């Protein structure tokens, strides 16, 4: 794990994050996916400070476009990265300032189960340990979708 953190720090110190951010909205899907994967590795294995570096470079600003993409794989990966971002209180608050939750309604009704699961994971992270987080989900009118999916789980368990 320490080796991952050290390698991530070397990458961050090169200044590459500044160049990586615009690649998230590149016209070529392969480039977007590669950039998203790089961000995902940093966020998954990095320290809180390294996650803050990702957020500080404005990378989260590009996620609203990614969440509306026509390619399911890109949406799924974007949600996975956001799920890891929302484990950090600092990053979670910055993410919420980007109004990313406004794009969640269609994701919570998506035909692909993994997209729904990742979206629900993010919402659970947003709500965990914070009355404010719960209120944000309610204000975004997403709570009804959580109840809908909980109802599905309840019916499956009988």
pLDDT of residue 153: 61
Q: Are 81 and 46 in contact (CB under 8 A)?
A: no
pTM to 2 decimals? 0.87
For residue 10, how many other CB atoms are within 10 A of its CB? 10
Q: Is 112 helix (H, G, I), strand (E, B) or coil?
A: coil
Distance separating alpha carbons of residues 135 and 63, to the nearest angstrom: 22
CATH number for the segment(s) 2-156? 1.25.10.10
Contacts 24+ apart (CB under 8 A), 16-19: 17/42, 17/53, 17/54, 17/57, 17/59, 18/57
- pLDDT bin (cut points 50, 70, 90) of residue 95 is confident
pLDDT value of residue 158: 42
Domain boundary assignment for the chain: 2-156
């Amino acid at each position: 794990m320490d080796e991952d953190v050290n390698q991530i720090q070397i990458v961050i110190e090169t200044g590459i994050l500044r160049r990586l951010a615009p690649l998230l909205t590149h016209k070529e899907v392969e480039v977007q996916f590669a950039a998203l994967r790089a961000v995902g590795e940093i966020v998954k294995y990095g320290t809180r400070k390294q996650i803050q570096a990702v957020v500080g470079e404005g990378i989260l600003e590009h996620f609203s476009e990614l969440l509306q993409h026509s390619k399911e794989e890109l949406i799924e990966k974007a949600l996975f990265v956001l799920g890891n971002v929302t484990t950090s209180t600092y990053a979670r608050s910055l993410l919420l300032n980007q109004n990313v939750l406004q794009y969640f309604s269609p994701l919570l009704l998506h035909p692909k189960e993994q997209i729904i699961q990742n979206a629900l994971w993010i919402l659970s992270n947003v709500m965990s340990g914070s009355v404010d987080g719960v209120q944000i989900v309610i204000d975004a009118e997403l709570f009804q979708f959580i109840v809908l999916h909980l109802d599905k789980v309840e019916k499956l368990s009988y």
